[in-house]
């Protein structure tokens, strides 16, 4: 019998996620909403020009891949046990993003977002701090705002619409945006709460089983759909009144026309909310965000005249 030989097995190198898995974790499809709102903020400032394109590009990256992407990573990390049951092919539960890498990506995204925001100005930094705080509070225990549709939808709506719009204006002016801009950002954030409610219709049974108190679970499909329609329509009515008061009647007429079409689409939505919610998000919500841009052009024109 040969003598024993002490052998050491070389440790396996730490597995790193593939770039494709990281990109899937960051969910690029979700970046559109905050980038659109950021663009509305840029337009509403009335300060955009060719020289500002590099700053605008940095702001688009901040609003979409960085802050929004980070929020998706945070959400997937704290939902990894639920996703292991309901969506086992997601990057974290499938093992394509192994170990603690999901958390590391969320933390790194937060720090990079804050660094970029700080370079773009104090008001941009303040908006990024608020948005990232809401992202962590939305998913992380013990707050976990997503467990309740009132608070969770408000957090997402404010982050995706209001703070992104505010950032788009602040990135160009480097000062607190005009109160008209803040007013529009706040109103469209309020309306986006209804959009978030409609998004929850796709997971009513799953939310009920997992104890997530989305508004369709709390109120029932019919009442939640009616509430979503009211919440989306009322801010637009106020916006129309403001645009008339600010001396932009043609823009006000444009938003009015879009809202009238939304009313007809809402009638179909309410006939069968569970079936028609995805259809409405592809039609009525599109008209809603087009109204955002029209309103942004209106305020931008007003501010340019005042300059």
Q: 60-99 pLDDT, tens per residue? A: 999 999 999 999 999 999 999 888 887 899 999 999 999 9
Residue 32 lies inside a defined structural domain of this protein:
yes
Q: What is the pLDDT of residue 194?
A: 96
Do 95 and 161 lie in a common domain?
Answer: yes
Q: Give the global pTM.
A: 0.92
Which residue, 144, 176, 208, sits at the end of a domain? 176
**Residue 1: pLDDT over 50:** no
User: Comparing 3-7, 233-237, 275-279, which segment has the lowest mean pLDDT?
Assistant: 3-7
- Kindly report the CATH number assigned to the domain that includes residue 155: 1.10.357
Distance CA(272)–CA(279), nearest Å, equals 11
Average pLDDT estimate for 268-275: 96
**Residue 9: pLDDT over 50:** no
Residue 3 lies inside a defined structural domain of this protein:
no
Which residue, 142, 176, 210, sits at the end of a domain? 176
Dump pLDDT digits (tens) for 150-204: 999 999 999 999 999 999 999 998 889 999 999 999 999 999 999 999 999 988 8
Average pLDDT estimate for 229-236: 98
Do 63 and 122 lie in a common domain?
Answer: yes
Which residue, 125, 155, 176, sits at the end of a domain? 176
Do 109 and 235 lie in a common domain?
Answer: no
Side-chain half-sphere CA neighbours of 289 within 13 A: 22
Domain count, the chain: 2
Do 117 and 33 lie in a common domain?
Answer: yes
pLDDT bracket for residue 212 (50, 70, 90): confident
Do 171 and 109 lie in a common domain?
Answer: yes
**What is the domain range of residue 66?**
16-176
Dump pLDDT digits (tens) for 244-253: 999 999 999 9
User: Comparing 13-17, 62-66, 147-151, 264-268, which segment has the lowest mean pLDDT?
Assistant: 13-17
Q: What is the pLDDT of residue 230?
A: 98
Q: What is the pLDDT of residue 3?
A: 46
């Amino acid at each position: 019998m040969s003598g024993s030989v002490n052998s050491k097995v070389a440790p396996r190198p730490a597995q790193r996620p593939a770039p494709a898995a990281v990109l899937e974790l960051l969910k690029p499809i979700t970046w559109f909403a905050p980038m659109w709102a950021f663009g509305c903020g840029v337009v509403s400032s009335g300060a955009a020009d060719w020289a500002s394109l590099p700053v605008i590009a940095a702001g688009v990256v901040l609003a979409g891949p960085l802050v929004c992407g980070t929020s998706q990573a945070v959400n997937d990390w704290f939902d990894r046990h639920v996703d292991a049951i309901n969506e086992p092919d997601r990057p974290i539960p499938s093992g394509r993003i192994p170990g603690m890498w999901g958390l590391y990506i969320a933390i790194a995204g937060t720090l990079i977002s804050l660094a970029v925001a700080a370079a773009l100005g104090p008001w941009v930094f303040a908006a990024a701090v608020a948005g990232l705080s809401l992202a962590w509070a939305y998913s992380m225990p013990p707050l976990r705002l997503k467990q309740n549709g009132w608070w969770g939808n408000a957090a997402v709506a404010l982050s995706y619409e209001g703070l992104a719009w505010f950032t788009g204006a602040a990135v160009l002016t480097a000062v607190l945006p005009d109160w008209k801009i803040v007013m529009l950002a706040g109103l469209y954030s309020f309306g986006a709460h209804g959009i978030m409610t409609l998004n929850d219709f796709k997971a009513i049974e799953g939310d009920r089983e997992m104890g997530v108190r989305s508004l369709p679970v709390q109120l029932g499909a019919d009442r939640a759909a009616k509430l979503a329609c009211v919440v989306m329509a009322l801010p637009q009515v106020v916006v129309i009144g403001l645009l008339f008061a600010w001396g932009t009647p043609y823009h006000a007429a444009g938003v009015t026309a879009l809202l009238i079409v939304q009313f007809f689409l809402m009638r179909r939505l309410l006939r069968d909310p569970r079936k028609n919610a995805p259809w409405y998000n592809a039609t009525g919500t599109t008209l809603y965000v087009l109204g955002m841009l029209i309103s942004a052009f209106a305020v931008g024109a007003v501010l340019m005249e005042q300059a």
